[in-house]
Amino acid sequence: MTKTLILYFSVYESTKKVAKEIARQTGGDLVEIEPLIAYDSDRDHYNELAAYAKKEHDEDRRPEIKNDINIEDYGNIFIGYPMWWYTFPMIIYTLFDCYDFAGKTIIPFNTHMGSSDGGTYKTIKELEPDARVLKGLPVEMREAESGAAEKIAAWLKDLNI
């Protein structure tokens, strides 16, 4: 049986809630993508975080990942992230730069405030041409925070996972 990993990056806990629900429903292992330098998770500082994220994006930075992530033992890998400036946070680019997903099945999911997946699922296919990338799940942030169990269940059923 193929082992399942749920990898996620989350600053405001929205993506974490979706990741935890996916782990609950699939029985997969849950691992957070931790940045070496933590982002400010105080929502009162949202504008500052948004400005910093834009600067990272504009400068094509690759923030370091603090924790060592084992993907070798897994065939199905869910990858979750919030949308920042209509794409994924730059640490997700770091993930794809540092880990080889060849032969893996990637199942993306994301939280957003109106931008859906912003084309990131297509970008994953381009970054990881030797991986199989399944249909992703965009979850609006408010829905993620109030509970998206039914939406996740329907998506997993559609994917036959």
Q: For the chain, give me the number of helices (H) and strands (E)?
A: 6, 6
In 3D, which of 9, 14, 12 has the Cα closest to residue 145? 14
Q: Name the stretches of the chain with pLDDT < 70.
A: 1
Write out the two tokens for 121.
Answer: 């699922």
Domains in the chain with CATH codes: 4-159 (3.40.50.360)
Cα dihedral 50, 55, 57, 60 in deg (nearest 10): -160
Task: Tell me the whole-structure pTM to 2 decimals.
Answer: 0.94
Residue with token string 């994301």: 110
Q: What is the tens place of the pLDDT at every residue in 80-116?
A: 999 998 899 999 999 999 999 999 999 999 999 989 9
> What phi and psi, each to the nearest 5 degrees, are found at residue 5?
-120, 135
